[in-house]
Amino acid sequence: MWKGRFSQDTDEAVQKFTQSLDMDWRMALADIRGSIAHVRMLGHTGLLSEEEASVIEKNLCLIAEEVRNGALVPKVSLEDVHMNIESRLIELCGPTGAKLHMGRSRNDQANTTVRLWLRKELLDIWDGLNDLISSLLKKAEEHAETVVPGYTHLQQAQPISMGQFWMAHAHAFLRDAKRLFDAYDAVDESPLGCGALAGSTLPLDREFTCNDLGFSSVTGNSMDTVAHRDHFMDVLYFAAVFGGHVSRLSEDLIIYFSTEFGWVKLPDSFCTGSSIMPQKKNPDVLEILRGKAGQLNGALMDLLTMTKGIPLTYNRDLQDDKRSLLRTIDCLHGIFSVLPALIREVAVDEEAANRGFRDGLILATDVAEYLVLQGVPFRNAHEKVGRIVRHCLDNDKPLTSLTLQEWQDNIPEVKGDLIPLLSPKRSMERRDTLGGTSPAQVKLQIENISLRLMMFDKEAKEFRERIPEGY
């Protein structure tokens, strides 16, 4: 494509080193659809005759069919998806095909191609995220009345509804949904017509191609458009934070599944055994999911580092911007292929969970708050309950085994109405503040997030309706 300027052919090693077909051939149909919009615009503005525009579009559609059925095999010597498509077009319609690239650079062409491809991918990712959150909501509804230990510092803290546990993760993933849709908005801008960096002297109509491709708007500055990859970073940031949330959920389930905890039960179909130890049931899927966070974090750091020191506008460093992006998209699809289904199969052994309550100390905060209602300042109540906890530990007695007399000997403010309150289930039910762990609050959270999911899904449907067919 640059043979007019150069007196030597490109070295074969350089061709292999600089090619990007291993990345961008999967975007061939998106590239063709971007070219169709460009050709329609050239015809609309009179830069191509009606016949020329029709011939080019007809042959681009033919090439798209060749891509679909595998008849078109790309050549590394042509470097990337864009030149392979254009070369094939010229083979089919001669000099007319050579007119396709007028008013366009690979800088805005490649940018358009990736954005077209990425919009669909992000909507597919939304489907996976929606499935994951919906699975958590179903588990929360199933376990709204199930009492398990809640932890801080991985030490028993207070009794919670297992439904509250599932909803805690659902809330985190819902924030990820917001980040995903923000990333979609950043991607949903048309760069076509920005050219190499400065626009064009030709009478291009950027609004025409924007509308033809279903973008929400055109980008605002041609130099910035071909130089930045902020929209990629928005996607990678979403993925990195999401990966952290997946890792945390996986870690929780791995811990609670261990023999020492033993109150989460994982399905056999999502576990593996040991090559030497016949008794083993290993949470390998969750462990691999936990490990994906490193890959997703690394992708973000890769692009942040790549873009930190390059000058305006386009530089070839940016060819590799897609490597981390594509790995991330593939990683996300992999996560969604297993995690929602695994969640739906998780069981909870409430009896095993409640064995951890035997010393009753998880109810200490309930006693302190009871004393507050009797008029005892909280810091004084904290100290009084701390002393009775020490009394229970020294005498190897569960907190729940103390008689009313023992309570009053240690804390005179205690009355007979405290004793009925001292059960994990009662403790959980009484934590009825907004967003708290009572079954009523868990059910309210389920309703609220279900509504949010419907709103996100409606938005996703509107996005899909704007995406044109053909790729």
Task: Please tell me which residue in 7, 153, 269, 275 is annotated as part of the active site.
Answer: 153
Q: Is 44 part of the annotated catalytic residue set?
A: no
Q: Cα–Cα distance between 344 and 323 in angstroms, integer?
A: 33
Q: Cα–Cα distance between 81 and 24 in angstroms, integer?
A: 6
Give the E-state strand segments of 174-328 in sequence order. Answer: 189-190, 217-218, 264-265
Both tokens of residue 88? 């094939």
Q: Cα–Cα distance between 437 and 443 in angstroms, integer?
A: 10
Nearest to 39 by CA among 131, 103, 90: 103
Give bridge partners of residue 190 from the DSSP assignment. 218
Task: Please tell me which residue in 49, 258, 274, 337 is annotated as part of the active site.
Answer: 274
Distances 246 to 11, 118, 142, 239, 402 between C-alpha atoms, Å = 45, 22, 21, 10, 42
Q: Cα–Cα distance between 294 and 297 in angstroms, integer?
A: 5
Per DSSP, 150 falls in state E
Distances 129 to 74, 117, 340 between C-alpha atoms, Å = 34, 19, 9
Do 324 and 302 meet the contact criterion of CB atoms below 8 Å apart? yes
Do 325 and 26 meet the contact criterion of CB atoms below 8 Å apart? no
Q: Is 274 part of the annotated catalytic residue set?
A: yes
Residue 108 phi, psi (nearest 5) = -80, -25
Catalytic positions are 153, 274
